[in-house]
Structure formats: C-alpha cells, structure tokens
Amino acid sequence: MFIDIGGLGVGVYDRLVELGHSRTVSAVNFGSKPLTPPPYIEGRQSGGAANRRSELYSLFKAALEEGLFSLPDDDALQGDLLSFGYKFRSDGCLLLESKIDLKRRGIPSPTSPTRAHYALPNLTAVHIRAMSGFTKI
C-alpha cells in the first residue's frame, strides 16, 4: 500500500510501520520533485512536471492514451479525473490545480484519482515504455 506522506498521511504511515507493516506500506510524497528529469533545451529546463503529483497524472494519462490499461465505465471515477484544472508555470512545468483551489470553485475533493495513483506511485516514463510490450486485456 502506498501512502501520501504529505500532510496528515505521514502519521498514518509512521503508525503502520510501528505496527509492523513496513513490508506492505511505502511512502510517496505528491509534493516532491518528479522522478522523471525535466527536458532541457539549450541548457535550460523546459517543461515536464512541477511535482510528483503532476507527474503521476501525466504518466497515468499517457498510459491510458497508449492503451496500456482502460478505466471502468464509472461516472464518479471519470468525473473525478476530469475535475482538476491545470496550468503551466513560467518555466513550462505542468502544475495541476490544488485541492484547495477545487474547493474554492465549489468542487469536492476527488478521491478516485488519488486512489488510482496510489497503485502507480513508482510509475515513470521508463515504466510506460517498458509496459508497452504487454498484451492488453
């Protein structure tokens, strides 16, 4: 199980480790730097993801577009996945809309995408390329 250790999740993670579940829980910080290095053009960072959360959404989207897996016909899941806005920072990095900004717009915090990403926290562009040899089911 993967637990977002940003904010309140760190206490949950620590307690599970204390209870002897260190082999079954792993920490992931959605606010941390992305695992995939940003592309550089003329010696400057140009694009990529602003943080791990934005990176996971990008990789999740790429895997869906490449047909590596499909989503169930679930209106709640699809609505949650489409609820986030995004912007590009001045350095060209993708930044997803925060849950706080969603709340300001009157949209409840989506839980389905977060649950989906807990299943894929170590996903990188390399993994997506490697998975492309798998047979779709």
Domain map (residue ranges) of the chain:
1-30, 33-131
Checking if the pLDDT of 135 tops 50, the result is: no
Checking if the pLDDT of 134 tops 70, the result is: no
What does the DSSP 8-state code read for residue 102?
A: H
Token pair, residue 44, equals 């400057």
Residues 74-102: tens digit of each pLDDT: 888 778 878 888 999 988 889 998 888 88
CATH number of 33-131: 3.30.420.240
**Number of Cα atoms under 13 Å in the Cβ half of residue 45:** 13
Over residues 17-40, the mean pLDDT reads: 86
Q: Which residues of 91-119 are buried (b: 16+ CB within 10 A; e: fewer)?
A: eebbebeebeebeeeebeebebbeebbee
